[in-house]
A and B are shown apart, each in its own frame.
Chain A
Amino acid sequence: MTVTGTSSDPLDLSAGVLVAGGGPAAAWAEYKAAQAGADVVLADKGYCGTSGATASAGTGVWYVPPRPAERERAMASREALGGHLADRHWMARVLDQTYEGMGELADAGRYPFPPDGEGGQVRRGVQGPEYMRRMRILLRRAGVRILDHSPVVELLTDEDGAVAGVAGYQRQRDRPYRVRAGAVVLATGGCAFLSRALGCDVNTGDGALMAAEAGAELSGMEFSNAYAIAPEFSSVTKTAYYSFATFYREDGTVLEGAGSQKGRSVIARTLLTEKVYCRIDRAGPDVQRAMRLGQPNFFLPFDRMGVDPFTRLFPVTLLLEGTVRGTGGIRVADDECATSVPGLYVAGDAATRELVCGGFTGGGSHNAAWAISSGTWAGRGAARFSAALAPSASRRPLIPAGGAGLRPTGRPAARDGYREVVAAVQAEVHPYEKNYLRHGDRLGPALANLHATWDRVRSSLYGTGAGAVHARQAAAMTAHARWMYTAALARQESRGMHKREDLPGSDESWRRRLLVEGLDEIRVRPDPVAPVGPQEYADHLRAAS
């Protein structure tokens, strides 16, 4: 491996399916596309196996055995939390596909699940490093080509606007690359705005920007204000165990109403004016032991700081996870996870997760299940699409679709112009009083500032080589933030994780998913496809039988 050697020769490849990303969604897409017979290339910004939100964290998985009563309970339990925007048709499919996928991970992937004491395995969760290491081994065995440290920078389309490949940059080889492909799967994760939340700094919303440039719509962008609890100064945002915690004010009194889940906004509001402390003092010895074995990384900061979280108070903060643990993303147009752009598929956090959990995640492990399921469908769909192309497709012209950060409309700014853009976006999306504790009076001015930043981005942000990657990340974050606040202002009520202080109630007429599209001009409209709730689903099943 030559890491520093500069080579100006671009790498030129061609493939049936190109998967952008390297987390679970990308890995499943890649694996399934290969099984379907496609010749596949995976290009990851980091390293497929360590990169992304799952690899360093680990996830609970929405794994429910196919027993009708259990499945029904699993689906019903989360509908209210998600603001009744989830879709039973999709939930049922995801439960089936996840059950099958976890079986494959156990058998073909040889993931070492813990024994359940009755001769079986407990398959309701995975530890990130182990899971992603096994997925990489599976991919290697399937013979796919993996390009690590090769962020995708833009999509390439043919003259009809169908996606026909990608262009990117291999940062450890200092060279650009291009992959011609029959179809492309975007599995680039959500956007956490470089907040330092565990494993999330690779997730800057690049896929959403690229999809929008090709003409795809996004959905649920108002559900983008996930914040996670972390010990102050640390990156470890594993939040589950805080349900055994008590939160305290600076003066040592209990912070009433504060909690991991229900009372997180109390913590946010208090953090605006004073420090908040925490102690996990409601876990008994056996629970403490189980915690240590279950999520070793939760304890890393504590052990290293010399703090026993069960007995000592420690200060906490909330880190923005945006659309990583929010649910907004690229709109899914059909059962194969196609987008509205021919040849473009989407999986995992890059896609909207409203279909499976509406306007709220955090709890219930839907994200991980969605990554497995949507990855599977997108991989197969892309393979099928690619196989059906006429042989002449291999001679399609490849037209670069990227705009912001690559092709400024005015005079290019200084090389490190991206830094100022990132700081400007963070100033609008990180603060709790703007994004978490939402109010029209604050969202409006924040959005105006973001629009102004976008105008600068569009006219002057520019980077080449590795600098293009930085510029594109900054552009993607700016676009993401504008879609978020546009949708947040458009949704004139509170629903799911989107809570408006000025509009605290929910309104039945708003039980619609919201679509946004466009870059310079952003348009919002209700999704013409209505959510299929339990009643609609039952009617549909009755009609079908």
Chain B
Amino acid sequence: MIEIVSRDRCVRCDICVKVCPMDVFEPGTDGVPVIARQPDCQTCFMCEAHCPADALFVAPLAGPAPAGSPYTDEAALVASGAMGRYRHVIGWGRGRTPGSRLDKNFVFTARLAASGGEGPSRTDASGDDAGVSERQPEAS
């Protein structure tokens, strides 16, 4: 769930307010958005991807982080480079290469096909749903 809006980093653009599909944020009176409805957060990381200032942190937990959790320690997260990490790997931001350009999922898919038991149509499964065998799934 969303845990941190960094007051130090935020440039008050309200992009997160706009893009969060679950409408979790509210614009703040001083311009820094507030996490108004954390229980609605679906842990999709989209706000982090879109924040131009690497000011947001979404903890990997589907529920709120417990008190004292490292996921709420802004200084430590900044120091570890966790903030803005996702935006970095998908290659968003000035001077970066879109991550999709570097997508090597087809290598994975080819390996999967080669790993035995998989028919030729394995080649069409390059995304998440890859990993299905053509054999009839078990009758359970």
Interface on A for B, CB 8 Å cutoff? 1, 3-4, 45-47, 49-52, 55-64, 73-74, 76-78, 80-81, 111-116, 122, 124-127, 129-131, 148-149, 171-172, 196, 198-202, 231, 233-236, 238-244, 260-263, 265, 269, 284, 286-287, 289-291, 293-297, 300-305, 325, 360-365, 367-368, 437, 494, 497, 499, 501, 504-505
Known: A200-B42, A296-B86, A304-B59. A114 touches B104 (CB 8 A): yes
A290, B107: Cβ atoms under 8 Å?
yes
B137 interface contact, C-beta 8 A: yes
B contact face: mostly helix, strand, loop, or mixed: loop
Task: Among A261, A265, A284, A289, point to the contact of B133 (Cβ < 8 A).
Answer: A261
Chain B residues near A60 (CB-CB < 8 A): 105, 124-130
Is B135 close to A, CB under 8 A? yes
Kindly provide the distance from the CB of A423 to the nearest chain B CB, expressed in whole angstroms.
14
Cβ of A63: which chain B residues have Cβ within 8 Å of it?
124
Q: Is the CB of A64 within 8 A of B19?
A: no
Known interface pairs A3-B26, A129-B49; A293-B140 also in contact (CB < 8 Å): no
B residues 67-101 near A (Cβ < 8 Å) are 71, 82, 85-86, 89-90, 92, 98-101
Complex alpha-carbon distance, A364 and B135, angstroms: 13
Option from A49, A81, A235, A289 in Cβ contact (under 8 Å) with B43: A235
Q: Is the CB of B100 within 8 A of A295?
A: no
Interchain CA distance A490-B98 in the complex, whole Å: 48
Do A122 and B106 form a contact, CB below 8 Å, given A50-B46, A111-B100, A202-B22? yes
B124 A365 Cβ-Cβ under 8 A: yes
| Contact-size category for B | 35 or more
Tell me if A287 and B19 are in contact (CB < 8 A): no
Q: Which residues of chain A are within 8 angstroms of B86 by Cβ–Cβ distance? A: 296-297, 300
Contact A287 B108 (CB under 8 A): yes
Tell me the smallest distance from the CB of B73 to a CB of chain A, in Å: 13
Contact assessment for A290 and B108 in the assembled complex, using a CB-CB cutoff below 8 Å = yes
7 extra interchain contacts, Cβ-Cβ under 8 A, other than A125-B126, A127-B100, A289-B104? A60-B125, A114-B101, A124-B126, A261-B137, A293-B105, A325-B129, A367-B129
A365 neighbours in B (Cβ, 8 Å) = 124-127, 129
Whether B100 contacts A46 by the Cβ 8 Å rule is no
Chain A residues within 8 Å of B44, by CB: 50, 55-56, 198-199, 235
B21 interfacial by beta-carbon distance below 8 Å: yes
Asked if B31 lies at the interface with its beta carbon under 8 angstroms from chain A, I say: no
Q: Is the CB of A294 within 8 A of B120?
A: no
Q: Which residues of A contact B90 (CB under 8 A)?
A: 127, 129-130, 296
Known contacts A50-B44, A290-B108, A294-B108, A81 near B132 by CB under 8 Å: yes
Contact A296 B62 (CB under 8 A): no
A contact residues around B106 at 8 Å (CB):
114, 116, 122, 124-125, 290
Smallest CB gap from A233: residue in B: B61
Bound: A57/B137 CA distance, A: 24
A294 to B110, CA, bound (A): 13
Asked if A81 and B137 sit within 8 Å, CB to CB, the answer is yes
Residues A286 and B21 in contact in the complex (CB < 8 Å), given A60-B127, A364-B132, A504-B139: no
- Shortest beta-carbon distance from B98 to chain A in Å: 4
Contact indicator A112/B98 (Cβ below 8 Å): yes
Provided the pairs A1-B14, A46-B23, A234-B61 are in contact, do residues A74 and B121 lie with their beta carbons within 8 angstroms?
A: yes
- Contact partners of A234 in chain B: CB under 8 A: 43, 60-62
User: Which chain B residues border A243 with CB–CB below 8 Å?
Assistant: 112, 130-131
Whose C-beta in chain A lies nearest to the C-beta of B88?
Answer: A296
Chain A residues contacting B82 (CB-CB under 8 Å) are 304
CB pair B138–A262 under 8 Å, yes or no, is yes
Q: CA A286 – CA B103 in complex, angstroms?
A: 13
Closest 5 CB pairs of A and B: A60-B127, A363-B132, A46-B21, A294-B105, A243-B131
- Tell me the minimal C-beta distance from B124 to chain A in angstroms: 6
In the assembled complex, the CB of A158 is this many whole angstroms from the nearest CB of chain B, namely 32
CA distance A80 to B121 in the complex (A): 13
**B27 is contacted by which of A4, A61, A124 (Cβ under 8 Å)?**
A4
Known: A127-B90, A235-B62. A437 touches B140 (CB 8 A): yes
Judge whether B119 and A77 touch: CB under 8 Å: yes
Q: Are A77 and B121 in contact (CB under 8 A)?
A: yes
Chain B residues near A113 (CB, 8 Å)?
A: 100-101, 103
With a cutoff of 8 Å between Cβ atoms, the chain A residues found around residue B85 in the complex are: 303
CB distance from A455 to the nearest CB of B (A): 28
- Quick one: which of B19, B103, B135 contacts A114, CB cutoff 8 A? B103
B12 contacts chain A at the CB level, 8 A cutoff: no
Report which of A58, A129, A236 forms a contact with B127, defined as CB distance below 8 A. A58
Cβ of B133 and Cβ of A3 under 8 Å apart? no
In the complex, which residues of chain A have a beta carbon less than 8 angstroms from the beta carbon of B7?
A: none
CA distance A80 to B62 in the complex (A): 36
Cα A303 to Cα B124 with chains together (Å)? 29
Complex interface: chain B residues within 8 A of A201 (CB): 22, 40, 42
How many whole Å from A183's CB to the nearest CB in chain B?
A: 26
Q: Which residues of B contact A171 (CB under 8 A)?
A: 23
